[in-house]
A and B are shown apart, each in its own frame.
Chain A
C-alpha cells in the first residue's frame, strides 16, 4: 500500500496544532531553552498518540515510519514550534538497547523511555578523557551479581534532572584501551552518586560533574557484553552525531533569526548597517538547503543499515557551524539592547538576551559529541587513509 504523504503531513499538522500546548510552543518559538518539563509533557502527548518514537521499529514500540515520514514529522514539528523529542533516551540509548539489549532489558527499559518516565543523561566524558574518550578511568568491578562503580564524569548534560545515566566504565585494563570498557545503565538515585552543577557561559544550567563513590548496581544493567562497550559506544555516537531533527530545527532557527534581523533593522533605521548580516543569512539559507539533502540520504542509509562512513561527521560539522553562524547573526542583531541586560535579577526573561544565551550555548555545537577538530581528523583520515 502506498503512503499518501500529503495526507500524512496534514494529519501531523493538525496534531501539532491541537495537541501541543500553547505554552510549550511559546517557549520554542521564542528560542528559549526547552527544559525537562516541556520535553516530558510533549513526550507523553506524542506517546499517547502512538508517536512516542518516530525512529524506532514497530516491534520496539516505535512508529515504523519510513524515512520520508520521519523527515516530514521533523519538519512539521519544527514548523509548528513543537519541541524536539528528547534525544538521550529516544535517539541515543534507545537504539543501543534495541540493538544490544537482552529481551528482559528491552521489556524493562524501552517502555519507560517511550512514556517519558525515564530521563537519561550520558556519562561518557571524564576530566582527563574528552576527545580521547577511550582513556577513561571510571571503574566498575564485578562483585557477585553487582557492579561497584568508582570515578568521576564531567560535562554531563541534564544530570541534575535525569533519573538514569548510561555510562562507560572500565571493567578491565587491557593493552588496547578500547578493550575493557563496558556500558552500564544506572539509576541516578543509587547511593554514592553526587551531582555538582557547572556554571556554563550561557546562564542556563545543563552541565554537571557526577561523582561515583562505591556505587552498586545490579549486573543486569550491563548493556551488551562486558568489555565490549566501545562497540555500543561507537554505534551510539554515530547516531548522536546525526540527530535527525537537526536540519528541520536549523531551518526554524534560520527563519527566527531572519525575523529578528528584520525587526532590529526596522528599529535601528539608518543608525546601524545590517547588510553584512543579511549577506551571512543568505549563505545560511543555502547551507540549510544542501544539508537537508545530505541528512535525508544519511538517514536512508541508517534505516537500511548501510554503513554511514564519514557522513555523521560531515553533517554534524555543516549543521553545527551553520547553527553557530545563525546565532552569531542573532547576537549581532540584539547585542546593543541585550548585552548589558543579559540575565534579569528579577528572573523574568529579557527576550532579546535569549539570543545571546543561544549564541553562547551554540559554541558547544563544535565541542560536544566530538569536537570540530576531531571530526575533521575523521574526515581527513578517510580522505588520505589513516
Chain B
C-alpha cells in the first residue's frame, strides 16, 4: 500500500496539524506561533525553552505545511534561536528566555529569498555605537515583530545586530507573497544603533548565520515534503471523486501515471530530507553541500508536482479557492526561500566555494528520528 507517513510523527505534529486544519480557510489573526509556545521548541532548557530537537520543530513545520498555512515557524522558531546563540552567553540567555516565553517577538531582517549569510546591510562603527545602512527586499512580515536580527557587513566580515523594531520603523512597501503570505521591503537609512546592538561579529556571527541557514534549509525541506504529501493526497482524492465522460478521472491512464510520477518524486524527496537530517545530526563535513544539493533537487520535485496537480485539477487547479492549488503555490514559493536553485547550482559548481564551505559548523540543535 502506498504510504504518506509523516517525516516526524508525534504529538507536536498532531497539534500543529489540528491548528492548521482549523485555520485552513480563515485568516490567521494575532500571533499563533508565540501563543502556542512554538518559539520555545528548540530553545535550550537552561534558557527557559523546551530543549527539543530540530526534528521536533520539523514536526510543527510539517503540520502547518500540510494545510498550506503560512506562518514563519522556520524563521521565528528555528532561525532566531540559532542566531541568538552567537551572542555572549548572558546576552544569549536573556534573549532566548524572552523568545521562549514570547515576551520578545524577534524576526530575522533578511530577504527571504537569499541565504542568511548574504547580508545586504552595511554596518559602520562610530564613536558610540554603529550605523546601519541598506535595504532588505522581500522579508517575511506575517507576524508582528518587536525586534529584528539584522545580519550586516562590518569591516569586511559579517556581524549580527539586534535592533528594536521601532527604530527600524514601518516597511517601505508591503506585499502579498506568491503563496499568499505577507512580505515587506525594509529600508535602513543611516540608522544609528547603540554599541550593545551588535551581538556577534566575525567568526561567531558567520558561523551562526551558516548554522541558521542550514536549519532553514532543513526545515524548508521538511515543509516541502509535507506540502508534497498533502498535495498528492488531495489530487488523488479529486481524481477519485470527479467524473467526466461518465467515469472517474482516476480511470484515465495518463492521470494515473502522472500521479504515480508525483508519488515517486515525493518519496525521493522524503528520502533526501531524512538523509539531510541525519547528516545534520552527525555534523557531516559536507553538510552544506548536501543541503544545497537537496535544495536544487527538492525544487525540481516541487515544481513538477505543483504543475502536475494544477493540470490534473483542470480549471479547479487555477483557482485559489482549492487547497491543492494553494499547496502548489506554497511549493513554488518554497523554491525561492533561502536561495533559489540557480544560486545553489552556482555554489555547487564552483569547486573552491564548496570546498571552503565544507568545514564543519557547530551543530546547534538536536537529533533527527
Contacts and interface: CB of A to CB of B under 8 A. Distances in A.
Contact of A200 (B314, B319, B336, B341): B319
Interface in A95-130: 125, 128-130
Interface stretch (B121-129, B172-180, B201-209, B268-276): B172-180
Interface in B120-156: 137-140
A176 B325 CA distance: 35
Contacts of A201: 310, 318-320, 325, 328-329
Interface stretch (B21-29, B110-118, B160-168): B110-118
Nearest to B348: A273
A336 B137 CA distance: 10
Chain B interface mostly helix, strand, loop or mixed? mixed
Interface residues of A, number: 49
Contact of A367 (B173, B183, B318, B320): B318
A45 B278 CA distance: 66
A373 interface: yes
Contact of B350 (A270, A277, A341, A343): A270
A199 B183 contact: no
Contact of B173 (A272, A336, A345): A345
Interface in B289-342: 303, 307, 310-311, 314-315, 317-321, 325, 328-329, 332-333, 335-337, 339-342
A371 B244 CA distance: 13
Contacts of B260: none
B254 interface: yes
Interface string A284-319: 000000000000000000000000000000000000
A366 interface: yes
A341 B185 contact: yes
B314 A198 contact: no
Nearest to B245: A132
A356 interface: yes
Interface in A250-277: 268, 270-274, 276-277
A339 B320 contact: no
A335 B328 CA distance: 15
A85 to B, nearest CB: 24
Contacts of A332: 340-342
B318 A200 contact: yes
In the A-B complex, the 3 residue pairs with the closest CB atoms? A340-B138, A339-B336, A340-B183
Interface of B: 111-114, 137-140, 173-178, 183, 185, 243-246, 252, 254-255, 303, 307, 310-311, 314-315, 317-321, 325, 328-329, 332-333, 335-337, 339-343, 345-346, 349-350
